[in-house]
C-alpha cells in the first residue's frame, strides 16, 4: 500500500517534471549521437525540456557536447517542420570561443541542413545571466540555449522549465559534477567524463545518467555509454567496436568513477 502510494507520487513528480508520454506532441529530436539517444529516457532530446551536462572536470568536453547537441537541434528546424533555428549561448564567464561551433554550423549548412544562427550574450552579473537564460528560453525562435551557470536556484530552474515548455526551446546547461546533489527540474542529467586515448579530431566521452524522475518509471537499456565526439564536424565519430559496445554500470559505480 505504502509502496503503491510512493510510486504514484513519483509518477506525479515525473509528470510535473515533464516526463510523461504524449506531453509535447512527441517531438523528440535525435541528439546526433546514437549511444546518447539510447541513454536518454525519451530516445533523444525532447523539445521544450532542460538537459543538464554534469562535467567531471573543467576540461571534460561537456560544453562541446552541449554545443554539438544544440547545433543538431537548430539544424533540425526544417526537417521537423519547426522554425526555431537560433542558438543562444549565455556566456557569463566570457570564455566562449565561437569559431569551432561556427564551423560546425557552416558544415551543416553546406550539407543541406537548416541554416542556424549563433548568438552570444555576455551578461555581467549573475542575476543578468539567469534573466537572459529565462528570456532566451521563452522565445519561440530559439532552438537551444547553452549556458554554464555557476549556481542555479531551484525556483529559477522551474521557471526555465515552464518557459522552455511554452516555447519548445531546449536548455542545455553545463554544470560541475558536484551539482548532482542539488534538486533539478531537468528532464535528463548526464554526467560527462572524459576518457583518454582519442585522437586530435575525436574525443572519447563517457556519459552516464545521474538521477532523474524517470528512474522509477522507465526501464532504461543502459546507464552508461561511451561516445566519440567528432570535433571537426560536431557530430558522432565512429569508435572501435570494442569501445562502442554498450555496457551497463551500476549507478553507484558510475558516481564513484566520475567523482
Partner 1 sequence: MPRIMTIWLPRWPVQRRLVENPALRKVPVFVCRRERRGVMVIVSWAWALPPWTKSARGGGRSSVPRIPSGMSLAEGMAVLALAHGSRACHMAEVEADDPTADRAALERLARQCRRFAPIVALEDAERPECLHLDVTGTAGFFGGEASLVRTAVWTLAAHGIHARVAIADTPGAAWAAAHHTERLDLRHTPPFHRRRRFAIVPPGEQALALAILPAAALRLEADVLTALREVGIDSIGGVLRVSRKSLASRFSPALAVRLAQFTGARAEPLAPAFGEELPRAAQQFDVPMSLREMGEDAIATILERLVGRCAAPLMARGDGITALQVRFERRADGGVQEPCPPVVIDVGLYRPSIAVRHVVDLVRLRMSRVRLPREIEEIVVEVVAAAPALCRQRTLFSGASESAAAEVGMLFDRLAGRLGAKAVFEPRLVRDAQPEHAWVGMPPAASASGSSRTAAVSQGPPTAPAERRPIWLAPRPVPLDVVAVVPALADAGRPPVRFRCGGEVHDVAAAHGPERIETAWWRGPIVRRDYYMVETQAGGRFWIFRRLKDGVWFLHGVCA
Binding footprint of partner 1 on the chain (CB under 8 A): 55, 57-64, 67, 83-86, 88, 93-106, 108-110, 115-124, 128, 131-132, 135-136, 138-142, 148, 174, 193-196, 198, 200-201, 203-204, 231-234
Nearer to partner 1, 4 or 112 (CB): 112
Handedness of CA 66, 71, 106, 228 (dihedral sign): positive
158 vs 130: CA distance, rounded Å: 12
Grid cell 555581467 in the structure block, residue: 124
Nearer to partner 1, 31 or 206 (CB): 206
59 vs 200: CA distance, rounded Å: 14
Contact 80, 43 (CB under 8 A): no
Residue 90 CB, nearest approach to partner 1 (Å): 9
Nearer to partner 1, 14 or 32 (CB): 32
Residue 168 CB, nearest approach to partner 1 (Å): 10
- Which three cell numbers, joined as nine digits, stand for 152? 542555479
48 DSSP 8-state letter: T
Nearer to partner 1, 30 or 141 (CB): 141
- Which three cell numbers, joined as nine digits, stand for 109? 549548412
Residue 7 CB, nearest approach to partner 1 (Å): 38
- Which three cell numbers, joined as nine digits, stand for 81? 517542420
Residue 14 CB, nearest approach to partner 1 (Å): 30
Nearer to partner 1, 17 or 203 (CB): 203
Residue 78 CB, nearest approach to partner 1 (Å): 9
225 vs 36: CA distance, rounded Å: 7
Amino acid at each position: 500500500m505504502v509502496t503503491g502510494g510512493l510510486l504514484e507520487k513519483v509518477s506525479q513528480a515525473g509528470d510535473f517534471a515533464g516526463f510523461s508520454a504524449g506531453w509535447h506532441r512527441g517531438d523528440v529530436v535525435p541528439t546526433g549521437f546514437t549511444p546518447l539517444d539510447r541513454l536518454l529516457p525519451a530516445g533523444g532530446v525532447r523539445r521544450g525540456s532542460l538537459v543538464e551536462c554534469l562535467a567531471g572536470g573543467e576540461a571534460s568536453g561537456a560544453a562541446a557536447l552541449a554545443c554539438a547537441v544544440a547545433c543538431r537541434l537548430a539544424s533540425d528546424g526544417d526537417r521537423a517542420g519547426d522554425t526555431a533555428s537560433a542558438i543562444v549561448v549565455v556566456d557569463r564567464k566570457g570564455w566562449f570561443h565561437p569559431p569551432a561551433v561556427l564551423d560546425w554550423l557552416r558544415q551543416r549548412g553546406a550539407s543541406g541542413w537548416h541554416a542556424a544562427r549563433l548568438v552570444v550574450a555576455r551578461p555581467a552579473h549573475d542575476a543578468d545571466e539567469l534573466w537572459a537564460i529565462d528570456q532566451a528560453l521563452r522565445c519561440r525562435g530559439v532552438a537551444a540555449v547553452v549556458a554554464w551557470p555557476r549556481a542555479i536556484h531551484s525556483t529559477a530552474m522551474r521557471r526555465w522549465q515552464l518557459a522552455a515548455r511554452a516555447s519548445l526551446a531546449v536548455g542545455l546547461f553545463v554544470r560541475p559534477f558536484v551539482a548532482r546533489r542539488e534538486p533539478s527540474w531537468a528532464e535528463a542529467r548526464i554526467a560527462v567524463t572524459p576518457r583518454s586515448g582519442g585522437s586530435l579530431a575525436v574525443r572519447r566521452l563517457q556519459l552516464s545518467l545521474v538521477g532523474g524522475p524517470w528512474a522509477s518509471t522507465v526501464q532504461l537499456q543502459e546507464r552508461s555509454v561511451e561516445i566519440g565526439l567528432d570535433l571537426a564536424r560536431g557530430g558522432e565519430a565512429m569508435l572501435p567496436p570494442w569501445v562502442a559496445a554498450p555496457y551497463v554500470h551500476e549507478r553507484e559505480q558510475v558516481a564513484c568513477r566520475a567523482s
